[in-house]
Amino acid sequence: MAGKLKLNPWKEIWLRPRETIRAIVNFNPKYRFLVLSFIYGLPLALNFAQSGSLTETVPLWSILLASAVIAPFVGALGICVCALLLFWTGKWIGGAGNFPKIRAAVSWSNVPNIVTIALWGVLVGIFGSQAFLSTFADTVFVGYQAGVIFIVFLLESIVSVWGFIILLRALGEVQGFSIWRALLNVIIPLLLIVIVIWLAGWVISSTHIIVK
């Protein structure tokens, strides 16, 4: 830890990601990691609950409580896996960042998830248990509910894009990359994951054919 963090990273990361992540890693790369893990993990837990239509079998309050409890663990795991892949593949294209710095960049790029959590609050407040049905996104709403859904999905799209831009800028700073090389650093592990999934599917289908 060196010096003192003289800026408010929660505010500055939105418009000055390079300067903000530079200040954070110089101060402490682990700064607010658990809080950021929660912010990253909670929407993941809520999305999982929705995809599984959990309100068909368990009460709403238990879904919210369980999501809040597991969020830091899910978030920390997700951040660390992403950071490890970016660290590993970044070395192939000359990345200079170490794992703690890259993990900090990934962590702080998820600050916009605060908006996502607030949007989940809006959905739960208006739609209740219905928000945790897998068919929720395909449901046709009318009146003010349709307007709420439109605004929520619009804001979520904007937040997702902005978070990705923050990631590229922050990753570029810790890796010593331009934004385009940072984009390549993100694309490479995504391609590897797609290839692995495709190979796994090919092996499974080939095995099924042989068994037949």
**Residue 1: inside a domain, yes or no?**
no
Average pLDDT score over the chain: 91
**Residue 116: inside a domain, yes or no?**
yes
CB 166 within 8 A of CB 13: yes
Mean pLDDT of 99-109: 97
In tens, the pLDDT along 17-32 reads 999 999 999 999 999 9
Q: CB neighbours of 161 closer than 8 A, spacing ≥ 6?
A: none
**134: helix, coil or strand?**
coil
**Residue 3: inside a domain, yes or no?**
no
Residue 2 vs residues 27, 68, 163: alpha-carbon distances, Å: 5, 33, 27
In tens, the pLDDT along 114-160 reads 999 999 999 999 999 888 988 887 888 888 888 999 999 999 999 99
**Domain containing residue 61:** 9-211
**Residue 124: inside a domain, yes or no?**
yes
Instruction: Give the count of domains, the chain.
Output: 1
**Residue 156: inside a domain, yes or no?**
yes
Q: What share of the chain is helix, strand, coil (3-state, %, to 5)?
A: 80, 0, 20
State the pTM of this model.
0.87
CB 113 within 8 A of CB 38: no
